[in-house]
Amino acid sequence: MLAKYENKLLKIKESIFEIGTGLISANKLILEGFENCDIEKFNGAKSYIKNISNKTNHIDRDIITILALQSPEASDLRAMVSYLKITNELLRACANTRNFIKGFVNVCSEIDLKTINDYAIPMQKSTVEALEHAIAMINVDCVDEIQECFNKVLIAENKTDELFEMIEANLMEQSKAIEEFGKYHKMLSALRKSEKIADRAMSIASLLLFARIGGEIHQR
């Protein structure tokens, strides 16, 4: 019975990691797509985050079954509660990614190259970095290493926030002419989705930290 229970926990962990790595791959391809406004790469990124709702629902059912039938205690219970919340964060991050692709494809040709190089690319790099460190935490057991990964997610997420504020100020300055306001508003709306993906990475990291060391759950 114990081996079967542990196998179920491992399967849940692996399924969450698989969704997370797909999310990272999608955002890396988006980053590549910034060069020359490559629409094919933007659209290709969607292939990494297909059917996420079905996948997360399946994971959630497995978690609820374990909670109902196995009555896990202590760290296992914290892990199950965290994973149940993480699937929702992954679902939201994938939705943010799809919306980012949809919004940016419509405006990328209108954004000047300097704005992309100075703000959009560094911002997306920080988003990818936040995701990579957050998802890496799933397979880390050492408390010190988990805390180190968490700190790296925090740094990357803060950098994403700062870059978005900078690009917001830059674009608003360029949009003083009323006829340009609509175009720049669409750009900001699209780029905000990248910032939201980093927020989701921060929430995932917080939940994984809670799963390992306890305390309070802090989400964004």
DSSP state of 112: -
Domain count across the chain: 1
Residue 219 placed within a domain: no
Token pair listed for 152:
């790296």
Would you tell me how many other CB atoms lie within 10 Å of the CB of residue 136? 20
129 domain-assigned: yes
pLDDT of residue 101: 92
Residue type at position 51: N
Q: What CATH number does the domain containing 132 carry?
A: 1.20.58.220
Assigned domain for 106 exists: yes
CB-based contact 163:122 (threshold 8 Å): yes
Residue 218 lies in a domain: no
Largest pairwise CA distance in the chain: 69
pLDDT of residue 218: 55
Residue with tokens 């994973």: 83
- What distance in Å separates the CA atoms of residue 206 and residue 220, rounded to the nearest whole number? 9
At residue 69, the pLDDT reads: 83
Two structure tokens written together for 187: 């750009």
Per the CB < 8 A criterion, the answer to whether 150 and 205 are in contact is yes
Burial 167-198 (b: 16+ CB within 10 A, else e): bbeebeeebeeeeeeeebeebbebbbbbbbbb
Residue numbers of the chain with a pLDDT score lower than 70: 1-3, 112, 171-172, 174-183, 215-220
220 domain-assigned: no
Q: Are 124 and 194 in contact (CB under 8 A)?
A: yes
Residue 151: domain span: 2-213
Say what the pTM is. 0.89
Distance from C-alpha of 41 to C-alpha of 29, rounded to nearest angstrom = 6
Enumerate residues 6+ apart whose C-beta is below 8 A from 48.
Answer: 22, 23, 25, 26, 29
Q: Which of 91, 99, 93 is nearest to 190 (CA)?
A: 99
CA distances from 193 to 43, 54, 95, 127, 205 (A): 16, 22, 9, 10, 19
